[in-house]
Amino acid sequence: NLKDVQKRLDDCPADSLWYDLNRPGIIETAPYVKFASKLNARISLDGGYHVSDEPIEYSSDFRPSSKQLWNSSIGILEVGILKATDLMPMKMGRRTDAYCVAKYGPKWVRTRTIVDSLSPNWNEQYVWEVYDPFTVITIAVVDNNQLDIGSRARGTRDTIMAKIRIRLSTLERNKLYTHSYPLI
């Protein structure tokens, strides 16, 4: 069981244990055992590393997997997703049902969907704790294809229209930025 596996936060070796290789329920009910085997192994869950789920140049989180090893935060990142203008129509009738998704670290946020607008106004604000200045926040504009019952029935996925990535090390502390970013 995974709950029985030793958890490590340092480089000390894990304890060596004997594990039965018997199939559960078979050996216990058998009248006699022809063959049974054991394995001696050192198994541990290592909390001192980070499993990267994105390319390193776009990474938004370099912290170890164990919260006990995290450094304290160096600040907060506040992002306001205000609006988009002149979006490309993604549906028949020159329509777009757009929303934004922002990802920083393990936290994802999603704005509400603005229906039938090529210039949606979201006016939403989000906050993240920052642990490393050399990380990236990713923001994407997405067309919602789940509003139409026919699209949902066909299993149509939402369409990413554009995305931007902002490296936090290029921003100054305690400064308010009111940039408009071109979507590519």
Model confidence over 112-121: pLDDT tens digits?
Answer: 999 999 999 9
DSSP annotation of 154 reads: H
Nearest to 90 by CA among 77, 99, 82: 99
Question: Which amino acid belongs to residue 106?
Answer: P
Say what the pTM is.
0.69
Res. 27: pLDDT tops 60: no
Question: By the 8 A CB rule, do 104 and 75 touch?
Answer: no
The alpha carbon of 23 is separated from its chain's Cα centroid by a whole number of angstroms, namely 37
Domain 56-170 sits in which CATH superfamily?
C2 domain (2.60.40.150)
Report which of residues 130 and 148 the model is more confident about.
130
Report which of residues 15 and 115 the model is more confident about.
115
> 141 falls in which pLDDT band (50, 70, 90)?
very high
The alpha carbon of 99 is separated from its chain's Cα centroid by a whole number of angstroms, namely 18
- Residues spanned by CATH 2.60.40.150 within the chain? 56-170
For residue 165, CA distances in Å to 14, 39, 42, 157 come to 40, 48, 41, 22
